[in-house]
Amino acid sequence: MNAMLFAKRLAGWKQQLCLQGNYLRVRSDPVHASWIRKIMDHPFSLEVEQLRQLREAGFVFAGTDSRWIDQYVTLADFQRKHGHCRVTGQGTSDARLGSWVSIQRTAHHRGLLTPPRRRALQRLGFIWDLQEASWETHTRELKAFIAQHGHARVSCKAGSSLAVWVGNMRQRRKHLSASKKCQLDKLGFEWNPFETDWKSGLEELRRFHARYGHGNVPAKSKTHPKAGPFIQQARQGYHEGTLSRERRQQLEALRVDWNPKATLWQRRFDELKAVIERLGHARLCKAVPKNKTLVRWARYQREIIHRLPKDKQAQLRKIGFPMDPQKPPHPPPKERLNAWTLDEWMQNTAPRTGFD
């Protein structure tokens, strides 16, 4: 309805209502009867602001239209404030409106919503299918993410709604339509990022194996930076029992050691055993001065001897390894230290070990 004409008729109606003092008499007034009948028959052809003005003026709509229009005007206010009609109903003030919005969607899907009401809601940008709207919104966000970062792997650490949506799509892959799967595939969507990481890490490990002949990559390898964290995660999965048999066989074919620390300990122990058997004692500093690695390892084992597992203690004891802990030198009192020369200090504080 024309805004100027509506304002003129509404002003006249208000004036007659004040004079008559009775709503029914005004309705029977021949001057306003045609205008009132038109509004009663087609209330949803009016704009939201016009409906609001009628309600504020005390106009009573017929039947259920009165309550429906009240909620419709409230939804229009919500849309103006938030920019959308997705009422969650979580807030106490929006709980009733959220329930009403859900009823309208249900009535629409069941074919019970009248065309005039449906058109009135559509003018507000009402969303009939929330899942479809969420799909369109998040696919646009995913495209923008790919354009910015060059990939479709959205980190869950960000805590964004896009990250949550991506995770839901991976879980609901079997239930998605073929067209939606094809749409995501064209964007380079990763359905199983863990499988992608495994293939990438395994390929990097194979390159390392081809160069060095084994798969024990250092944690911070400069030449193969991805292989180090990859093999650490694989070892963790092996010890926790979560690594599949197929993947375990793939890594074992590349000569991956599942417990490199234990292997290294055993290797140093075998070296120490060979030296002791050859010399008949454990004074390594004089016996093998060039093998500083073995000397340092033996000295460290003596320092932590009582913290070693029982089986390792038994192995060391069997080859005649000194079992008393090696204590670091304690500095003398200040007054004695000041009186000593450097040679005297070294002579008085040097540790007495079985390795000298």
125-180 residue pLDDT tens: 888 888 888 888 888 888 888 888 888 888 776 557 888 888 888 888 888 889 88
> What tens digit of pLDDT does each residue of 215-248 get?
888 888 888 888 888 888 899 988 888 888 998 9
Say whether both 48 and 85 belong to one domain.
yes
Q: pTM to 2 decimals?
A: 0.51
Q: How confident is the model at residue 10 (pLDDT cuts 50, 70, 90)?
A: low
| Residue 286 lies inside a defined structural domain of this protein | yes
Classified as helix, coil or strand, 221 is: coil
Residue at a domain's end among 166, 186, 206: 186
- Is the C-alpha dihedral spanning 152, 153, 155, 156 positive or negative? positive
- Helices then strands, each counted (H, E), the chain: 19, 0
| Residue 24 lies inside a defined structural domain of this protein | yes
Residue at a domain's end among 123, 155, 172: 123
Say whether both 148 and 67 belong to one domain.
no
Say whether both 173 and 242 belong to one domain.
no
Number of structural domains the chain divides into = 4
The label of the residue with tokens 């504080």 reads 349
Q: Which residues have a Cβ under 8 Å from the Cβ of 243 and sit 6 or more positions away?
A: 234, 237
Q: Which one has a higher pLDDT value, 43 or 215?
A: 215
Domain of residue 245, residue span: 196-258
Say whether both 118 and 158 belong to one domain.
no
The percent helix, strand, coil of the chain (3-state, each to 5) is: 65, 0, 35
CA angle (34 as vertex; 30, 40 as ends), nearest 5: 125
Q: How confident is the model at residue 349 (pLDDT cuts 50, 70, 90)?
A: very low
Q: Is 302 exposed, middle or buried (0-12, 13-18, 19+ CB in 10 A)?
A: buried
Say whether both 12 and 115 belong to one domain.
yes
Computed over every residue of the chain, the mean pLDDT equals 77
Say whether both 238 and 148 belong to one domain.
no
Q: How confident is the model at residue 328 (pLDDT cuts 50, 70, 90)?
A: very low
Say whether both 54 and 160 belong to one domain.
no
Q: Which CA distances in Å does 327 have to 163, 296, 300, 353?
A: 55, 14, 11, 9
Q: How confident is the model at residue 99 (pLDDT cuts 50, 70, 90)?
A: confident
Say whether both 176 and 202 belong to one domain.
no
| Residue 355 lies inside a defined structural domain of this protein | no
Residue at a domain's end among 83, 108, 123: 123
Say whether both 227 and 316 belong to one domain.
no
Instruction: Indicate the range of 193-207, 272-286, 311-325 predicted with least confidence.
Output: 272-286
| Residue 263 lies inside a defined structural domain of this protein | no
Distance (Å, rounded) from C-alpha 75 to C-alpha 51? 13
Q: What is the DSSP letter of 319?
A: T
